[in-house]
Amino acid sequence: MGVFVLGSINLDAVARVDDLPRPGETVAGLSLELFLGGKGANQAVAAARMGAPTRLMGAVGKDDSGASLKGKLAGYGVQVADVAELSGAPTGQAHVWVSNGGENMIVVTGGANMMITPQQVAATALEGQRVLLAQLETPAGAIEALFKAGAAKGGLRVLNAAPALPQGAALFPLTDILILNQTELATYARLDHEPAKLEEVSKAARKLMSRPDQTIIVTLGKTGVAAVRRDEAFLVEGRKVKAVDTVGAGDCFCGALAAGLAANLDLREAVEQANAAAALSVQKPGAAPSMPSKREVEVFLE
């Protein structure tokens, strides 16, 4: 039934500035906003909003932001009993500076997210978890432990191998469904450009397949989503919407896809639903606050 997410939880601090500072320079910020972030948290919120019973495993520091982020996650309906509060590391943070010209600089400090151990994962009961979803903002050893333990219990292993990291590829053979965006596909497949056409995307994705029963899903921004299996590939076209903020679109897609699969939709139905959810999310600012509910997606698809 449920979706089990192993992933990062961050406090995102977003400062707007006229111009980005040069090294050694101090500039006055125009505004500062604090958000719940991290790919794990965002994807868990998306899955929960789509109606899936959703558990998030992760770690925050024993500090004010850790407690506040757990509270926010619970407010979105995510079960947070498996989010450890660690005294040895601070809650993860992303410091984002955005200039008036639209350029940005981002520093992510993983903090407690990087302290999740394979032992913490192995001690967790995974019965009844239909979908196991992970990204690469937590240690690869913990993801490996989850996928090994979860597969033995019949869970579908879904990896959003983002951000693109060399250690990510070692997890591909343990994965049932791999989700990448165009940039990540180009990095892992060692291409010098981002493939766009279905034929080119399929060819690159098949280079990454390590088992014949694997599915690779490639998100293509406003173009939509490609799903590639050994003997079939299809494109679900992007929905025509007016995008105001595409941050978190990929996370919305991953969480909504996991929710669809946990509700026993077939692959195409789950991709179509997640494509619609992500299109709704780009019409609102922010990541977690822009994740649509199941009802909103149903109305949009009518």
Instruction: Give catalytic residue positions.
Output: 251
Which residues inside 170-189 make contact with ligand ADP, applying CB under 6 A? 181
Q: Which residues 6+ apart lie within 8 Å of 227 measured at CB?
A: 215, 216, 217, 218, 233, 234, 236, 267, 268, 271
Reduced to 3 states, what is the DSSP secondary structure of residue 157? Answer: strand
Total residues contacting ligand ADP by CB under 6 A comes to 19
Nearest distance in Å: CB 281, ligand ADP? 7
Give the binding range for ligand ADP (CB under 6 A) out of 54-62, 98-106, 115-123, 272-280. 272-280
Q: Does 39 bind ligand ADP (CB under 6 A)?
A: no
31: left (phi over 0), alpha (psi -120 to 50) or beta: beta
Query: Residue 283 carries which DSSP code?
Result: T
Select from 275, 287, 291, 297 the one that contacts ligand ADP (CB under 6 A): 275
Nearest distance in Å: CB 275, ligand ADP? 4
Nearest distance in Å: CB 42, ligand ADP? 10
Q: In whole angstroms, what is the distance from residue 5 CA to residue 19 CA? A: 37
Q: Does 165 bind ligand ADP (CB under 6 A)?
A: no
Q: Does 37 bind ligand ADP (CB under 6 A)?
A: no
Nearest distance in Å: CB 261, ligand ADP? 16
Closer of 82 and 251 to ligand ADP (Cβ): 251
Which residues inside 62-91 make contact with ligand ADP, applying CB under 6 A? none
Phi/psi of residue 163, nearest 5 degrees:
-70, 160
What are the structure tokens assigned to 141, written together?
């050893």
Q: Does 246 bind ligand ADP (CB under 6 A)?
A: yes
Q: Does 222 bind ligand ADP (CB under 6 A)?
A: yes
Q: Does 201 bind ligand ADP (CB under 6 A)?
A: no
Q: In whole angstroms, what is the distance from residue 157 CA to residue 151 CA? A: 7
Q: Does 255 bind ligand ADP (CB under 6 A)?
A: no
Select from 243, 267, 293, 296 the one that contacts ligand ADP (CB under 6 A): 243
Q: Which residues 6+ apart lie within 8 Å of 16 measured at CB?
A: 29, 30, 31, 32, 97, 98, 99, 100
Select from 39, 55, 157, 239 the one that contacts ligand ADP (CB under 6 A): 239
Distances in whole angstroms, Cα of residue 295 to Cα of each of 42, 49, 143, 179, 273: 19, 9, 32, 25, 11
Closer of 258 and 279 to ligand ADP (Cβ): 279
228 has which bridge partners?
216, 233
Q: In whole angstroms, what is the distance from residue 149 CA to residue 163 CA? A: 24
Nearest distance in Å: CB 224, ligand ADP? 6
Q: Does 221 bind ligand ADP (CB under 6 A)?
A: yes
Nearest distance in Å: CB 202, ligand ADP? 16
Q: In whole angstroms, what is the distance from residue 139 CA to residue 264 CA? A: 29
Cβ-based burial of 166 (10 A; exposed 0-12, middle 13-18, buried ≥19) = exposed
Q: Does 238 bind ligand ADP (CB under 6 A)?
A: yes
228: left (phi over 0), alpha (psi -120 to 50) or beta: beta
Closer of 97 and 253 to ligand ADP (Cβ): 253
Residues that bind ligand ADP (CB under 6 A): 181, 219-222, 224-225, 238-239, 241, 243, 246, 249-250, 253, 275, 278-279, 282
